[in-house]
Amino acid sequence: MDCPACGRSNPEAHVFCPDCGARLPRAASAPVADPVTDPHAASAPAERSLEERVGRLEREVKALLERRSASMRDELRCPACGARKILHAPKVLDADADGRSELAIAKPSVWSSRRVGKLEAYICAGCMLVEWHVKELEGLDEHVDVSVLDGEAPRQGPYR
């Protein structure tokens, strides 16, 4: 069945659209999940307390929000507004003394003639959020002070 909000096609057993979270209309022939055999099925109100049901809903919302934190490059969806129209600039040009050249983390200098860490950009056509990605890492640590973060980096602002 198609989601009335975003148009995504969903299996008949889904109650909510996994893309936008909208409630899906119930088809007359849709099977009702059995709470005894289906651990993901919602129990009848008499079987669960309000706190248990709210807790389950909070976990579902948290899981949906975590999925939305993926990059535009990987998901082809904007993590900020959810739009699917993503623009890709595989080569971002920079004006310099030699004319126009690819934007990079480290530009040629007296010490090296190489451009290291060439950048590409992904832009959301809906909210104009821009994600920058380094195309290759080889030689980057020779030109720039690079720290390796092993694990979760603290989220600060909209930039990654």
Per-residue pLDDT of 59-89, as tens digits, reads 887 776 666 557 888 888 888 788 899 999 9
Closest Cα to residue 84, out of 132, 19, 133? 19
Q: Is the pLDDT of residue 28 over 80?
A: no
pLDDT at position 115 is: 75
Closest Cα to residue 73, out of 159, 133, 18? 133
| Res. 30 pLDDT band, cuts 50 70 90 | very low
Tokens at 129, concatenated: 């959020």
Q: Which of 5-19, 20-34, 132-146 has the lowest mean pLDDT?
A: 20-34
Cβ–Cβ < 8 Å for 118, 104: yes
This prediction's pTM: 0.47
Residue 23's identity, in one-letter code, is R
| 108-154 tens-digit pLDDT | 666 667 777 888 999 999 899 999 988 887 777 776 776 776 666 55
Between CA 122 and CA 52, with CA 6 as vertex, the angle to 5 degrees is: 100
